[in-house]
Chain A
Amino acid sequence: MKILSIALNTFRENLRDKLLYNLLVFALLMIGSSVILSRLTLGEFHRLILDLGLGSINFFGILIAIFVGIGLVSKEIEKKTIYTIVSKPVARYQFLLGKYLGLTITLFVNTVVMALGLLVVLSAQAVPIEGLLFKALALIFVEFMVIMAAALLFSTFTSATLSAIFTLALYVIGHLTADLKTAGAKMDDLSRGLLNGLYYLLPNLERFNLKGHVVHHLEVSGSDLLLIVAYGGAYTAFLLFLASLIFHRRDFR
């Protein structure tokens, strides 16, 4: 209950953030601009709208997750409002989870708005809408959840700027981890063990990327989808657990 009230408060607070609206407007503009670009291309203009639309939702959602996520805790500490919360009978992990849940609600609303924008463009251009599109959108949202948890984790122990850099770095690394495994396969046992360890420690964000599947109609089985979502949930839980451990020992001065 406490978590929920903190979450709703965070959501209300986020809605006052101008950054959120800026990014949202840009995302919708990008989705809309795909219609103009598709006039210039040759052949499959459907795929340009789908690719650019899903790409924009993904990209701007990540930006929102990072730049709103890093402010969740650090802003409270900066403005000293954290004292009023910590002095109440609220466990620190509850505060953290509430903040996370609040941002999740914010980003969910955002994703829905962006997805509606894309759907409007798709139906206006008479592009057939498939169930696969919603699967891809769902996995994009799971990726947001992982990135939000990472932003929250970093913001529990460093400044906002550094958290933003760390989270962006994790996002980049997360899309390249498959190379760790392939590189490790060519090395000796010790290095391979090390690289494999890193591979399992870091998130493999490419797993959440179904954008290409939508365009090429490559169906994903339900069990695969379930596994990917479970992986995202487990990784998010890991990051949040780590964040609450660090936050528990944090001294606000």
Chain B
Amino acid sequence: MNPECLVHACYDQRLNWLKPLFNGVTTCLVLGIVFLLQNELDQRHDRVIVQIQDLANLPRGEYLKPALLGYHHVGADLLWLRFVQVVGNKQNSEDEYAWMYHALDVITTLDPHYAYAYYIGGNILGELANRPDLSNQLLEKGAKANPTVWNIPFLLGYNYYFLLGDPAKGAQYIMQAASLPDRPAYLPGLATRMAAEAGSPETALVFLEARLRETQDPEMQEFLANRMKEVIIERDLRLLESAVAAYQVQHRALPGTITDLVTAGVLSMVPQEPFGGMYLLDRKTGALSSSTHPKRLRTFFKRKQPSYSFPKVQPSYSFPRTWE
């Protein structure tokens, strides 16, 4: 029997029951081939569904907005959806944070009233990326477009107070946040306190507690809790330092151990190190430190120069150089 007859046989009246079987098998076969090809192509090009590099290629919001023909809010939502998918990583490179800033800038240009995007974006750029410059840029834009949203100036105040070492300016922003509707009840108290005693660890602790209360993200909560413990170390070290100074006045010598301070009566009790370590005293110099965090936390009261690095873009060749 030649093959042509076989095909004809399938459509023969007597073999009518074969028809659906034949159709089903053919459909499955073609689908299977499509699946295999698609899979092979995916593996060759190693495509991840959303790649963080894609954020860098977004066109500027000013150009994207008119192209969306009035659907820019949907556009902002979909970009936010993509943004959220790549933010999950705990560590990102400096470039990646710059791309995130670009994406956030595009999203907030498409929808300038997207207050949530400013707040979360400001958090990520300021705290996780350690780029308070970018964070503040985003937040200033948000504050201009949403003058009644309190948590944008709140976060700006935080950035100035803790990350940029400018407590006076930080207090100014917290004052602004405290004057806005729907702000939490404790905010005015915090604002006046910050203005009065900018840079004291006690004030910083109250501020951090306020941030912790406003944060739902568990990762951010952990971060803030750690920061609070670091500030507690700083507070304790200051306390111990003043006790050592008092001991020196009394005994004209350095104390041998920290417990000497308690027995001499200049310290009521040895404070507990919040990370479970202990406080150490250098016998020769009298310097105090924590066993878990040997470096002192200077961020919120001593640091004038920001420790973050701006990306340095220097032209390799400047035009009139040869004539100089």
Contact = CB atoms under 8 A, between A and B. Distances in A.
B113 A209 contact: no
Interface stretch (B80-88, B90-98, B160-168, B291-299): B80-88
Given A44-B116, A212-B111, A55 B84 contact: no
B120 A43 contact: yes
Q: Is the interface of A mostly helix, strand, loop or mixed?
A: helix
Interface of A: 37, 40-44, 47-48, 51-52, 55, 58-59, 171-172, 175-176, 179, 205-206, 209, 211-212, 215-216, 218
A180 to B, nearest CB: 12
B73 A55 contact: yes
Interface in B41-82: 66, 69-74, 76-77, 80-81
A205 B84 CA distance: 32
A47 B70 contact: no
Given A176-B66, A179-B66, A43 B73 contact: no
B116 A212 contact: no
Given A37-B81, A40-B84, A59-B71, 19 more contacts: A40-B81, A41-B80, A41-B81, A42-B84, A42-B120, A43-B120, A47-B73, A48-B77, A51-B74, A51-B77, A52-B77, A55-B74, A58-B70, A175-B69, A179-B66, A209-B70, A211-B71, A212-B72, A215-B73
Given A41-B77, A176-B66, A212-B111, A58 B84 contact: no
A40 B79 CA distance: 12
Contacts of B113: 212, 216, 218
A164 B74 CA distance: 25
B147 to A, nearest CB: 14
Contact of B70 (A37, A40, A42, A205): A205
22 contacts: A40-B84, A41-B80, A41-B84, A42-B84, A47-B77, A51-B73, A52-B74, A52-B77, A55-B71, A55-B74, A59-B71, A175-B66, A175-B69, A175-B70, A176-B66, A211-B71, A211-B73, A211-B74, A212-B73, A212-B111, A215-B73, A218-B113
A63 to B, nearest CB: 13
A245 to B, nearest CB: 29
Q: Which of A59, A171, A209, A212 has most chain B Cβ within 10 Å?
A: A212
B70 to A, nearest CB: 4
A199 B116 CA distance: 35
Nearest to A212: B73
Nearest to A50: B73
Contacts of A59: 71
Interface of B: 66, 69-74, 76-77, 80-81, 84-85, 87, 111, 113, 116, 120
B67 to A, nearest CB: 9
Contacts of B71: 55, 58-59, 211
Contacts of A211: 70-71, 73-74
B228 to A, nearest CB: 24
Given A175-B69, A179-B66, A40 B74 contact: no
A236 to B, nearest CB: 18
Contacts of A179: 66
A61 to B, nearest CB: 13
A41 B288 CA distance: 47
A47 B74 CA distance: 9
A47 B80 CA distance: 12
Would you list the 5 A-B pairs with minimal beta carbon distance, nearest first? Answer: A55-B74, A175-B69, A42-B84, A209-B70, A216-B113
Contacts of B69: 171-172, 175-176
A246 B161 CA distance: 70
Contacts of A209: 70
Q: Which of B77, B80, B111, B120 has most chain A Cβ within 10 Å?
A: B77
Contacts of B72: 212
A216 B116 CA distance: 11
A179 B69 CA distance: 12
Contacts of B120: 42-43
Contacts of B74: 51-52, 55, 211
Nearest to B76: A51
Contacts of A175: 66, 69-70
B73 A40 contact: no
A42 B87 CA distance: 10
A215 B71 CA distance: 13
Contacts of A176: 66, 69
A216 B117 CA distance: 13
Contacts of A44: 116
